[in-house]
Structure 1
């Protein structure tokens, strides 16, 4: 066995109001795993993310490599996780490392220079597109949904419409 991923979500903001009030309530995890190599090394960011979590919810900020290491370890079977990453590259690396992620929910991905806006609050770089394509090729369902009440939209359809597939 291994830990259970109740929800895998990409959101550049990581833990924030929508995660706390919406997604955590729907997914009902017993732990939030922020999987980000930079955040895992930054004590201030880790502290702030833990403070932003729902009351009583344990938060761990770990590297992609650590997530891959704990994936098959039976001592983590009790974890029912909401897994958060800032972008699709970390999700792709986890899948490459053997972590089973059947579906990824895509939330906010902030616009920066070099990125293309494909939907409201969703901007992608070529690296993001490559990671989405890899995940899709591995059979991972990629759905765009900001809050639980929104209708899910296929991320690959958004990339196709933007001529970025």
Structure 2
């Protein structure tokens, strides 16, 4: 069983807040980014690696994450980062043992409604969150560790 300490939805993926604040807070020593585009883009990977000196990183597609996460060693304390709730749903349905999701940042764009100043959703996002809830996953909006979390279902 992989030692997944924390799973976060953040459309920015790795940045200073994730790399420093959250990784220290949860005690991770490995950040796994599950994203089909970034997994194939060495430039984006190297830019993200600059934000995480001293931490190991892996960049996998969603399917690679499903296939490989079970091979993690006990010493790997994993922070799992994805862009969308749909990605989390695919991971969970693929057998990745996720029990709680931290929703940090989902940018506003046309067709999305803001739930908080950092989280905006459309109907597909809402449906993915509802499906995750039905699967027993806790869903908490929380930008930083010091902030009190909000259950996203209370805002849908």
TM-score by length of 1: 0.90
What is the aligned residue count?
156
Runs of 4+ in 1 over 2 A off after TM superposition: 75-78
Q: Secondary structure at the match of 1:105?
A: strand
Unpaired segments of 5 or more residues in structure 1? 160-165
Cα distance between partner residues in 2 of 1:126 and 1:37: 22
Q: Is the 8 A contact 1:3 1:78 kept in 2?
A: no
Cα distance between partner residues in 1 of 2:142 and 2:105: 9
Q: Is the 8 A contact 1:70 1:76 kept in 2?
A: no
Deviations 1:2-50 (A, max 9, x none): 2211110011111112112310111111100011011111111111111
What root-mean-square deviation, in Å, do the aligned CA atoms of Structure 1 and Structure 2 show? 1.2
Q: Is the 8 A contact 2:21 2:145 kept in 1?
A: yes
Aligned runs of 1:66-85 on 2, under 5 Å?
A: 66-73=64-71, 76-85=73-82
Deviations 1:70-94 (A, max 9, x none): 2333x53332100001111111000
Alignment-derived partner of residue 41 in structure 1: 40
Cα distance between partner residues in 2 of 1:131 and 1:13: 19
Cα distance between partner residues in 1 of 2:119 and 2:29: 28
TM-score by length of 2: 0.95
Question: Does 1:64 pair with 2:53?
Answer: no
Unpaired segments of 5 or more residues in structure 2? none
Residue 143 and residue 46 in structure 1: after superposition, are their counterparts in 2 closer, same or farther (change >3 A)?
A: same
